[in-house]
Amino acid sequence: MIELLIVIVIIGLMTAIALPRSSISTYQANTGAQVVSSTLSYAQRQAISRQADTRVAFDLPNKRMRIHEDRDNDNVIDAGERVTFANLPEGVTFGRGTAAPRAIGGEVVTFTRAQGILPVLIFRRDGTASEEGGVYITTIAGLAVDRTADVRAVEISRATGRSTWFSFGTGVWKERQ
């Protein structure tokens, strides 16, 4: 009888330890997707309000996005042009792991243009995007153990410049708000 009680206590302790990690990981992944999506929306608004291209370059090794207000639309960061950075949240990185790719493609960043060596998305003065595509993010912990439930995809519509994000939490891509 006492052995059964010990087993129940051990199972309870293991559950108490495992459940918060799962929810923290989900929270980190969702926060990362929201950061990417809101950064892209900000860049689009800047392009419209400044009436000049705004370029978002994806710096994968440094886990951040560079927002460049390209006033003369020459794809070069010139003196006087504003450049800001948006970092991915702690514990989040660019990546897809083994999650199935969406229609945008399987590369971590599917945009084909570049600014220097970084893949770049350009928002035009009318709010449209330079191309249809997207970016995958996941948690660092999830990538290490191939937890595909932590993978998120943020996609951009070329015609509207609107960003939409998706989660792979149940093994199937699902649009999120």
Which CATH number does the domain 2-176 belong to among 3.30.360.10, 3.40.50.1820, 3.40.630.10, 3.55.40.10?
Answer: 3.55.40.10
Per-residue pLDDT, averaged over 21-37, amounts to 88
- Kindly tell me if the per-residue pLDDT of 155 is higher than 60: yes
Would you list the DSSP string of 140-171? HHHHHTT-GGG-EEEEE-TTT--EEEEE-TTS
Take residue 87 and report the two structure tokens written for it. Answer: 């970092």
Per-residue pLDDT, averaged over 20-29, amounts to 78
pLDDT digits (tens, 9 = 90+) for 72-123: 989 899 999 999 999 999 999 999 999 999 999 999 999 999 999 999 999 9
Any bridge partners for residue 134, and if so which? 155
Helix, strand, coil share (%) of the chain residues, nearest 5 = 30, 30, 35
- Report the DSSP pairing between strands 92-94 and 53-59: unpaired
Residue extents of the structural domains in the chain: 2-176
Question: Which of the four pLDDT bands, split at 50, 70 and 90, describes residue 17?
Answer: low
